[in-house]
Every structure is written in C-alpha cells, then in structure tokens.
Amino acid sequence: MSSEEETQQSLSYKVHKSTLKWAPVFNMTILLSIAIISCLIRVFSVIRYESIIHEFDPWFNYRTTQYLVKEGPYALWNWYDSESWYPLGRSVGGTVYPGLMMTSGMIYWVLHKLSIPIDIRNVCVFLAPIFSAFTSLAAYGMTKEITKRSEAGLLSALFVAIVPSYMSRSVAGSYDNEGVSIFALVFTFYTFLKTVNTGSILWGVYTALAFFYMVASWGGYAFIINIIPIFVLFLLITGRSNQRIQVAYNVFYILGTLLAMQIPFVGFQALHSSEHMASHAVFLLINFLNFFSWIRNFVSKKAIITLTKFLVVFLVFSILVGVVILTLAGKTQWSGRSLTLLDPTYAKKYIPIIASVSEHQATTWSSFFFDLHYLILFSPVGLYYCYYKPTETKIFGALYTVLGVYFASVMVRLLLVLAPAVSIMAGIGISWAFRKFAKSVRSFILPKIEKPKKYRIPPEISIIGLVLLGYYCSIYVLHANFAGSEAYASPSIILSSRDRQGNRNIIDDYREAYYWLRMNTRADDKIMSWWDYGYQITGMSNRTVLVDNNTWNNTHIATVGMAMASSEEDAFEICEKLDVDYVLVIFGGILNYSGDDINKFLWMVRIGGGVYPHIKEEDYYGKGTYRVDQYATETMTNSLMYRLSYYRFDEVQTAYGQPKGYDTVRQAVIGVKGYKLRHFEEAFTSENWIVRIFKRKQRENRDGVAFTSKQTSQFTIPKESSPVTKFSKKANIKQRFTLNFNE
C-alpha cells in the first residue's frame, strides 16, 4: 500500500469517524427539516389562494371552533344549534368529536394568554400543517420502535410528511378531524409499540391518553380499537404473547375504554357497540390465558392439554355466540359505515346516503397510485422485511399495513389510514435496501471497518441500485410536490381558471352568493339546499338550513330530496310546510362546472325515493338514460331542481356555435324552454350562474280555492292560516262578505 493510498484511506476513515460522531446531530437536523417541510408543502393553498377554510365539513368545524372560543367549552357541550336541521336543530355538544375544536381553542387561548392575539381563523387554517409535522415526528418514533433504526425512521418520516393521500386532508385550510387524528393515530401506535417493547405501564398510560385524543378527534378511532386486539390475538395464536404484551394491552384497554366513554358522542357505545366488541373479547381472552398459564404451574401436563383444548374451544365459541346473540337482540349494532367496510356492497344496497358521498366509494387503482405513488412499490419490501425476521413490533407494522390495504380498497376516504402504514413500510423497505447497498460500498471503501463477506452485492451494482432508489425517491418527492401545490391546493369554494393569455381568473361565485344571503336576507330565513352545502351556508351566510353534511337524519334529507324531485306545485307545498324562504341550487351549465346539483340530482331522487316510494328513479330516465335534453321525461323536466336550475337558461348563449340554452356540462340543449315559475322567483344568481337562489313566494290571495258558490260555503279557513295576523282584518271582512253573498 503506497503512502498516497494510505492517506486517502485515512481520510475516508476520518470522514467516516466524524460522520458517526455527528450522526445524532444529523439525525435531529434532518428530522427537524422534515417537520418544517411537511408544514411548508401544505401552505401552497394559502399562497395560491388565501387563508380560508376549505371544502364542506371544515366549515362546520370552523363555526364550532368560533363558538367554542367565544362561549367557552361548557357552552359547547350544551350548544343546541338551531341554525341547522330546521326545524329539528342539532345538539352539537353530544354529536361532535370535539378534539379538533378543543385543540385549536387551546392553541388560541394559550397564544392569547401570551399576548399573541392571533385570529381564530388562522389557527384553524394552519392547524393541519402543524399537526402534519407532529405526524412525521410520530412516524419517526413508530418506525424506530419497529426497526430500532433511525435511518428507517427518517425515511418514513419524510414519506409520511409528503404522502399525497395525507396531504389531501391536511393542506392549510383543510380544517377537518383527519388533520389532527392521523397524528393521534400514528402517535397512539408509537406509544403502544413503545409499551410493547418496554412493558412499561407508564407508556401504556401514554397510549391510553393518545387513544383518548384520537377518540376525541375522529370516528376513525374504531380502527385502533380493532387493530390492536387483532394484533394481540395474532400474537396469542402464534404463541408470541408475553408479559409485555399483556401489560400493554391491559393498560391500553382498560384506560382507553374508560377514557373513550368520557366523550359524549361515544359514551356507552364504548361498551356495547360492535366496533368495540373485539377489544372486549381479546381482553377476556388474554387475561384468561394468563390466568390459565398460572394455573398450569399446579396441574399435570396431561390434564393441561385436555383442559386447554376444552377451554379454548369453549371460550371462542361462547364469545362468538355472545356477539351473535347481542347483535340479533339489537343490544349491539354496527353503524352503516362500519358495515360498509365489512360488506362493500352494503351501502349501495341499503343506505344511498352513504353511497352518495364520493369519498365513500370504492377506491380506484388510479387514486391508489395518485395518492400513494411509488410508496406502493416500496412498501412490499418493508412488508417482506417485517415477515422475514419478525418481532412483535414488526408484526404490528405488517398487520397494520395489511388491514389498511383492505380498508383503503373499500373506501377512498380510508386511504388516509393506509397512508402512514405504507409510508412506514416503504421507509423500512428502502432503508433496508439502502443499508444492504451501503454496506457493500462501504466494504469497498473502508475494508478495515466493514469486513467483506462472501455473498455481498458487488459494489458496482450497489451504486447503480443506490442511484436508482434515489431517483425513484426523488420522483416521489416531485409528485408529492405537484400534489401539494396543484392538485390539493384548491379550496373548492374558490375556483380558478386561466384565460388565453395565461392570466389566472378567480371564480368566486360561491362566496358571492353566500355573502349575499348573509347581508340581504332576514336573520331567521331558512334556506333549503342539498345537504352538501349546509355547512357552508351556516358558516358563510349565517343562515338556517334544513339539512347539512352531518346527515344524521335520513328522513329529513329524503324530504328535501323529495322537494327537489317533485313538481313545482308539490315542492311549494313541501317548502311551505318546512318554512323554507329560499331555495339554493348549484348550477354549472354555463361554466362547465360538473359538480353541480343536476349531476347530483339522481342521488336526491334515490334518497328521496328510499323514504317516499312515489319518487321513482325510472321516472327520471328519458330513453333509458339520465338526460336533460328534449328526450328527458316529464317528471324530470317538471321537477323543482330542473325548473330552478334551468330557469331562463334558454335565453343565454353559452357556447360558440351552439343554440341558446346549451348546457355545457351535459352537452345538450335543454328540453323545456320559456317556462315561468309560479311559486318561486329568482332572488339572486351569481355572476357565472354557479349559485342560484330562489325565493319562495307567498301564497297568493285565495290561492288554490276555486270560486264556486258551493265550495265557498263549505270552505272554512283552516287553523294553520291563523298566524297571519297582519291580514286577519281584511280576511275577516272578506269572509263575512262571501258569507253574506252566499246567503
């Protein structure tokens, strides 16, 4: 060895040595940068648009948070919201997962105590990005618990931080439960794995607390309360159970269930709902088995085998029978959404309201790829690694991934639950591959430290592998960047378009109309719209709505669906009974905005028809398909939705070279032209027609009463009309007059 080579060698050894020395610092710095990146990549929406609450559900959360910081937490528990579900109202305190609101309320109060008078809207807008940073830290911790390796943790943290699926629910402004609960989910798993690894009761308590936060934040906590028992059961069956598992599970189960019951929306469901049954069963099982193994010390070996066989069969059988009996007796119930998870066709058959939501649809392969991208390819490597040399925590990771894949395939929305699992698995897999490649490279450069082994990958291939992996990872990062800055940055209440010069135009029709409602209708006016817009109307217009995105009362939604699907006369009767002052419809025929009410109309028909059988879906199909043109059926063209959406539409030219009244979404000229509305009048239409608001006219004088002498003498003014005191004098005179006239 020449001296030159020696110095080179010693240099690389020096580098190696100092790198090792500084590794923890690198580790922390990288982790911190990942946290910062995860925040920053989610702020594109604020940069491109503005600091505003997105979509639909976040508007309710935002409104509740506003109420919370204004009135305090106790007032929130007792809040009976009269602005929604008119005339029923909604008890918000008992039907809400308050974790999200409490979190932002807490941040708000603390900051105000520190004399940082930040606006609550900004707390809400930036909450999800901040929590995504926490999520990436939790994912680091969880991966480290699974593999005991920092580099896998770092990769996982990076993957979680920018995974598009999670990003779609946590961009700035997307103020939804998922924003905080994905953190809660990963953190619960992290603490649970820590407990599994250490057997520490303290960490078990932390797990229960993290679980409590999860329960407070999202209905998706059912995933945790099922996956942990399944994991424990798996260990029991494979004979890997031990004292640590028992400590971890018992502490988690007892404290977690007790804490879950503290949330009013969950309450005793934590005991008797079907989602929790598995946890009860496993609790009984693990303790019974433990008790049994303790007994084993005192009984002979032969007896033990028979006893085991008998008891296991007995236990499993009795639990099964118990569950079946409870289910049949109606003591325990599966919620519609959970049933949909077990039987993906369930909702389609029985509950159209669940099926109508696009995020409850089965996941398509394209959305798998768009939301997870290369992680799908990497994660099987991690999965393989987990099964290759299994430990308890690795089994947990693998189980979580497998179950996540199943749930994600059933519902698009649950891709969100899968995203951390896949990211962690991909992180594990890639770091494993990296490690293998790096070892071979190192054995080439630093033969003294890394002893060359016989079957090691040749360094040339390793370098190619490293480059390839790096390339794929960077493609993933680019894709995530695209998703964060373009695909998921839109707040959906603000649309934007580009004109021929490339200028960006903001289409702000929603807010235009909602603000019109807020400023120019009476404070107690009731707005009827399809339930999608309920939260936005109460949030932005501060007006009472009939139905909203909470969808707790199917009948009420069906009534609104029926009103929309009925003829104008019938709809007027329904609206009058429901005290509706304004009807709001979304119409995209001018701007080619496809998410409008005519396209959602079939769901209104289906949901309405589910409760009111005289509404039949076939009646709305012209020539076998759903259409709005001249072949549309009479039921369709007479329906309120059709009438309101296309009111005076035939007077405008929408597309070049097409006749007037050409619907750009349906690509057809509307079938009925030149009609007048009798009971409704156009109160407001936004600039691009996206939102149309119609006012219900008052009943005309003597409306609906045929003026024949016979009928008049029999006609008595019904009691319902008596509240109209303003005109009662006139009415009396008229009444008297008609009576005299008849005599």
Contact 586/604 with Cβ under 8 angstroms?
no
Q: Which is nearer to another protein, 225 or 665 (CB)?
A: 665
- What token pair was written down for 2? 């020449």
Task: Give, as ranges, the residues between 320 and 339 that touch another protein (CB under 8 A).
Answer: none
- Among 276, 394, 511, 606, the residue binding another protein under the rule CB under 8 A is 511
Kind of pairing between the strands at 504-507 and 621-622 = unpaired
Work out which of 3, 25, 113, 117 binds another protein, going by CB under 8 A.
Answer: 117
CB of 578 to another protein, least distance (A): 23
Residues 473 and 27: their CA atoms lie apart, in Å, by 19
Instruction: Identify any residues that bridge with 669 across adjacent strands, giving them in sequence order.
Output: 662
CB atoms within 10 A of CB 175: 28
Give the shortest CB-53-to-another protein separation in angstroms: 9
Interface with another protein in residues 643-682 (CB under 8 A): 648, 651-652, 681-682
Interacting stretch for another protein, rule CB under 8 A, among 115-123, 181-189, 320-328, 728-736?
Answer: 115-123
Q: Please give the residues from 533 up to 572 whose contact with another protein meets the rule CB under 8 A.
A: 540
> Using CB under 8 A, which of the segments 40-48, 110-118, 195-203, 335-343 binds another protein?
110-118
Is the CB of residue 287 less than 8 Å from the CB of residue 245? no
Locate 57 and state its tokens: 């559900």
Residue number, 386 or 691, with CB nearest to another protein: 691
292, 239 in Cβ contact below 8 A?
no
- List CB contacts of 676: < 8 A, sequence separation 6 or more: none
| Closest CB to another protein among residues 375, 670 | 670
Taking the complex as a whole, how short is the minimal distance between the CB of residue 64 and another protein, in angstroms? 16
Q: Is 686 in the site for another protein (CB under 8 A)?
A: yes
**Stretches 350-358, 517-525, 600-608, 732-740: which one binds another protein (CB under 8 A)?**
517-525
User: 200 vs 599, which CB is nearer to another protein?
Assistant: 200
Pick the closer one to another protein by CB: 113 or 729. 113
Q: Single out the segment in contact with another protein by CB under 8 A; choices: 39-47, 112-120, 318-326, 440-448.
A: 112-120
CB within 8 Å of 581: residues ≥ 6 apart: 521, 522, 525, 526, 527, 695, 696
What gap in Å lies between CA 597 and CA 628, rounded to an integer?
Answer: 13
Rule CB under 8 A: is residue 626 a binding residue for another protein?
A: no
3-state secondary structure of 679: coil
User: Pattern of binders to another protein over 478-507, x per CB under 8 A?
Assistant: ----------------x-----------x-
Instruction: Check binding of 519 to another protein (CB under 8 A).
Output: yes
Binding mask 18-57 for another protein (x = CB under 8 A): --------------------------------xxx-----
Go through 349-377 and write b for each residue having 16 or more CB atoms within 10 A of its CB, e for each that does not. eebbbbbbbeebbebeeebbebbbbbbbe
Nearer to another protein, 54 or 606 (CB): 54
Residue 518 sits in the site that holds another protein (CB under 8 A): yes
How many CA atoms lie less than 13 Å away from 736 in the CB half-sphere? 6
Contact between 734 and another protein by CB under 8 A: the answer reads no
> What DSSP designation does 696 have?
E
The CB-of-522 to another protein minimum distance in angstroms stands at 12
When the beta carbons of 2 and 115 are compared against another protein, the nearer one is 115
Shortest Å, Cβ 549 to another protein = 18
Helix or strand holding residue 685 (H, E) = strand 680-685
Regarding 442 and contact with another protein (CB under 8 A), the answer is no
Site for another protein, residues 228 to 247, rule: CB under 8 A: none
# residues near another protein by CB under 8 A: 31
CA dihedral for 437, 440, 445, 446, sign (positive or negative): positive
Contact between 396 and another protein by CB under 8 A: the answer reads no
What is the C-alpha separation between 365 and 412, in angstroms, rounded?
Answer: 10
> 164 vs 491, which CB is nearer to another protein?
491
Indicate which single residue of 31, 157, 557, 683 sits in contact with another protein (rule: CB under 8 A): 683
Nearer to another protein, 121 or 734 (CB): 121
Taking alpha carbons only, the member of 61, 142, 151, 138 closest to residue 101 is 61
- Pick from 520, 594, 708, 711 the residue near another protein by CB under 8 A: 520
Provide, rounded to whole angstroms, the least separation between the CB of residue 543 and another protein: 13
Q: What is d(CA 226, CA 407) in angstroms, rounded to the nearest whole number?
A: 12
Burial class, 648, CB count within 10 angstroms (exposed 0-12 / middle 13-18 / buried 19+): middle
Q: How far is the CB of 529 from another protein (least distance, A)?
A: 17
- Report the candidate in 67, 222, 96, 69 with the shortest Cα–Cα distance to residue 539: 67
Angle at the Cα of 691 (from 689 to 694), degrees rounded to 5?
105
Q: Which is nearer to another protein, 378 or 689 (CB)?
A: 689
Question: What is d(CA 399, CA 233) in angstroms, rounded to the nearest whole number?
Answer: 11
Q: Examine residue 515 and tell whether it contacts another protein (CB under 8 A).
A: yes
| Contact criterion met (CB below 8 Å) for 235 and 269 | no
Of the pair 194, 276, the CB lying nearest another protein is at 194
Q: Return residues touching another protein (CB under 8 A).
A: 50-52, 115-117, 494, 506, 508, 511-516, 518-520, 540, 648, 651-652, 681-687, 689, 692
